[in-house]
């Protein structure tokens, strides 16, 4: 029998009464288990299989999959599940973690990032999704990318490889990273219209500096200029979708709450800067 600490990222019904359990472990990365009979009401494991909880999992190898035999809840994050904004944010964290983690590969830093972000969501006082929440999720995503091999070079152009210097740069999906605006423009002209890449994102110099500092430290920022926060949000989304090569499912659910916030509390101006426009 194996016993491992993990965070439950996804539960998917299979067959009539079983579930597929996807979890992230610090020691061995992504784990998949078959949890037999756990959709039956009388299942002993069922009450402990709570999405996003930190748990100890017992398993035995089976013929085609590892079978889950025991679950001990260490950190249930109970409040997170009672709020739609909590579920939406945790869903985003879990989707990013599952997409970026690999099996049989220790992921202690990714695990710590996921655990810390879930704790933040759990402890949030406000039921609404505010700009600070969105910024935190964006930084979580960029840090998760950084610890799984996708940290952009901050001082060097990803196209011409010369120093970026003190100029305002752009962030581009291909080649992944920061670039001189002119280099990125020339490259997208040369590569023709067949490319479906997102347009490079023009960034204030303050945004690149902010990202460099935040990806080097793990503290949360106190006050962040609004323009910087919006650019960080766009960089995170572009970087994620470039690396995963698909749109994030949880993002649409999350956007329902940011849209609501924008129309209710912010100026019309904010909508024209939305990444979807
Ligand atoms: Zn360049």
Q: List the chain domain ranges.
A: 2-123, 131-272
177 Cα to the center of ligand 1, angstroms: 11
Phi and psi of 64, rounded to 5°? -115, -20
Q: What is the pTM of this model?
A: 0.88
- Tell me the CA–centroid distance for residue 178 and ligand 1, in Å: 9
Helix (H, G, I), strand (E, B) or coil at 68: strand
What's the gap in Å between 232 CA and the centre of ligand 1?
21
**C-alpha angle 184-185-188 in degrees, rounded to nearest 5:** 85
Distance 181 CA to ligand 1 centre (A): 7
Tell me, in angstroms, the distance from the centre of ligand 1 to residue 36's CA: 55
One digit per residue, pLDDT tens: the chain, 277 residues? 899 999 999 999 998 999 999 999 999 999 999 999 999 989 999 889 999 999 999 999 988 889 999 999 999 999 999 999 999 999 999 999 999 999 999 999 999 999 999 999 999 988 889 888 999 999 999 999 999 999 999 999 999 999 998 778 999 998 999 999 999 988 877 765 445 567 899 999 889 989 999 998 767 667 788 889 999 999 999 999 999 998 888 887 788 777 654 444 444 444 444 444 3
Residues with a beta carbon under 5 angstroms from ion ligand 1: 157, 159-160, 180, 183
Q: How remote is the CA of residue 172 from the centroid of ligand 1, in Å?
A: 12
Q: How far away, in angstroms, is 157 Cα from ligand 1 center?
A: 5
What is the CA(275)–ligand 1 centre distance, in A? 24
- Ligand 1 centroid vs 171 CA: distance in angstroms? 12
239 Cα: distance to centroid of ligand 1 (angstroms): 19
**What are the residues whose beta carbons fall under 8 Å from the beta carbon of 83, sequence distance 6 or more?**
127
- Cα–Cα nearest to 140, from 185, 100, 104, 200: 100
CB neighbours of 78 closer than 8 A, spacing ≥ 6? 122
How far is ligand 1, taken at its centre, from the CA of residue 248, in Å? 29
Domain 2-123 = CATH 2.40.50.140: yes
Neighbour tally for 147: CB within 10 Å: 17
102 C-alpha to center of ligand 1: Å?
33
* Token pair 């960080």 in the structure block, residue: 232
- 198's tokens: 């997102």
What is the distance in A from the centroid of ligand 1 to the CA of 183? Answer: 5
Contact 220/136 with Cβ under 8 angstroms? yes
Domain 131-272 adopts which CATH fold? de novo design (two linked rop proteins) (1.20.1440)
Whole-number Å distance, alpha carbon 262 to ligand 1 midpoint, is 35
Side-chain half-sphere exposure of 56, counting CA atoms within 13 A: 5
């Amino acid at each position: 029998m194996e016993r491992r600490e993990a965070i439950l990222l996804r539960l998917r019904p299979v067959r009539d009464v079983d579930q597929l359990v996807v979890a992230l472990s610090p020691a061995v990365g992504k784990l998949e288990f078959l949890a037999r009979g756990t959709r039956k009401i009388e299942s002993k494991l069922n009450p402990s299989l709570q999405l996003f909880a930190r748990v100890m999992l017992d398993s035995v190898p089976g013929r085609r999959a590892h079978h889950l035999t025991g679950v001990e809840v260490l950190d249930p994050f109970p409040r997170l599940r009672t709020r739609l904004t909590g579920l939406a944010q945790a869903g985003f964290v879990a989707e990013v973690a599952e997409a970026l983690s690999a099996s049989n590969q220790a992921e202690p830093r990714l695990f710590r990032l996921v655990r810390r972000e879930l704790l933040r969501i759990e402890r949030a006082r406000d039921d609404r999704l505010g700009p600070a929440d969105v910024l935190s999720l964006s930084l979580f995503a960029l840090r998760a990318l950084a610890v799984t091999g996708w940290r952009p070079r901050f001082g060097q152009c990803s196209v011409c490889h010369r120093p970026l210097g003190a100029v305002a740069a752009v962030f581009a999906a291909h080649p992944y990273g920061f670039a001189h605006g002119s280099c990125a423009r020339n490259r997208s002209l040369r590569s023709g219209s067949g490319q479906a890449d997102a347009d490079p994102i023009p960034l204030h110099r303050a945004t690149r500096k902010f990202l460099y500092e935040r990806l080097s430290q793990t503290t949360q920022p106190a006050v962040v200029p609004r323009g910087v926060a919006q650019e960080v949000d766009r960089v995170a989304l572009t970087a994620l979708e470039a690396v995963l090569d698909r749109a994030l499912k949880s993002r649409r659910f999350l956007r329902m709450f940011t849209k609501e916030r924008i129309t209710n509390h912010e100026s019309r101006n904010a909508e024209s800067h939305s990444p979807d426009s």
